[in-house]
Amino acid sequence: MDIQKVGIIGAGQMGNGIAHVMALAGYDVLLNDVNKDALDAAVALIDKNLERQVSRDKISAEDKAAAVARITSTQDLPHLGTSDLIIEAATENEPVKHKIFEALIPHVQPHTILTSNTSSISITRLASGTDRPEKFMGFHFMNPVPVMQLVELIRGIATDEPTFSACKAVVDRLGKTSASAEDFPAFIVNRILMPMINEAVYTLYEGVGNVKSIDSSMKLGANHPMGPLELADFIGLDTCLAIMNVLHDGLADTKYRPCPLLTKYVEAGWLGRKTQRGFYDYRGDTPVPTR
């Protein structure tokens, strides 16, 4: 099918990044969020990030103007019903996602493809709550969306081939690379990445090393661009914990048990960069380890 209009649910870190790359690739974008302030902030951030690309000669000023013109924001979820493709990028909470799709279904066109940007939740379960499980799949972008080249495409048990092909064509048009993943907890990237981050937290919890030594060891000893604790703060410790819980519950293996220290940080509200404190304290000029 010919996808021209893309609806995006959620104007947070992932949603605004998806809107950015979709508009730049020539799609008409309808960005939805229940919070008007979040929508206004997302549109302003997209403008700022596009301007940065102009200043670095990645795109032209004309490209930026055209992309901004393609983005419309709305607090009204039914407005997304005219979209050919809808990407849900709300919080990583399964009941919330089910409620969103339940509210959306009466308003979408028969041909509309529904997708979720979930990083770990079962696509088959999400699809089963809709009227079109064959036209439903996982469309998982990496963060930050404008920079990262990979998109995981996850088939649910009922996803048909035309739906997969249409989504793959979108990824190709974005100039990104798709990886096909089966619908098992956390898919590919987070199935491998999150246990590594969780193990880094255990290493901290058990006193094997402090925050600085753990991150320095992985950056200098394994050539990682960011240390695992620094990366956890960037992702959000609440998101890391949610994905570890999905892995632990879905695979019933003790190797996926979330570290108690990770749970403690989330209970404290120290979620990383977005709350100014996590494994590092970001309230000063330079991040300072908290342990």
pLDDT at 207: 98
Please give the pLDDT value at position 8.
98
Q: Has 128 been labeled as part of a binding site?
A: no
Q: How far apart (Å, rounded) are the C-alpha atoms in residues 125 and 114?
A: 13
Contact 93, 119 (CB under 8 A): no
13 appears as a binding residue in the annotation: yes
- The CATH number that domain 190-289 falls under is 1.10.1040.10
Q: Is 92 annotated as a binding residue?
A: yes
Chain region(s) in the chain for CATH 3.40.50.720: 5-182
- Clarify whether 119 is annotated catalytic: yes
Residue 88, pLDDT score: 98
Q: Which of 152, 178, 198, 230 is catalytic?
A: 152
Q: For residue 272, say whether it is annotated as part of any ligand binding site.
A: no
Instruction: Out of 49, 73, 83, 119, pick the active-site residue.
Output: 119
pLDDT for 92 equals: 86
Catalytic entry in 49, 117, 122, 190: 190
Start-to-end CA span in the chain (Å): 53
Cis peptide before 260 (omega within 30 of 0): no
| Active-site residue (options: 140, 178, 198, 230) | 140
- Residue intervals of the chain classified under CATH 1.10.1040.10 are 190-289
Is 14 annotated for ligand binding?
yes
Note the pLDDT of residue 186.
93
Single-letter amino acid code for the residue at 26: G
- Dist. CA 19–CA 29, nearest whole Å: 6
**Backbone φ and ψ of 86, nearest 5°:** -120, 130
Q: Taking each helix axis as running N to C, give the angle between helix 61-69 and helix 13-24, from 0 to 180 degrees, rounded to the nearest 10.
A: 120
Query: What is the predicted pLDDT for the residue at 49?
Result: 97
What is the pLDDT at residue 172? 98
58 marked ligand binding residue: no
CB-CB contact of 125 with 97 (8 Å): no
User: Is 33 annotated as contributing to ligand binding?
Assistant: yes
Please give the class, per CATH, of domain 5-182: alpha beta
Residues of the chain with pLDDT under 50: none
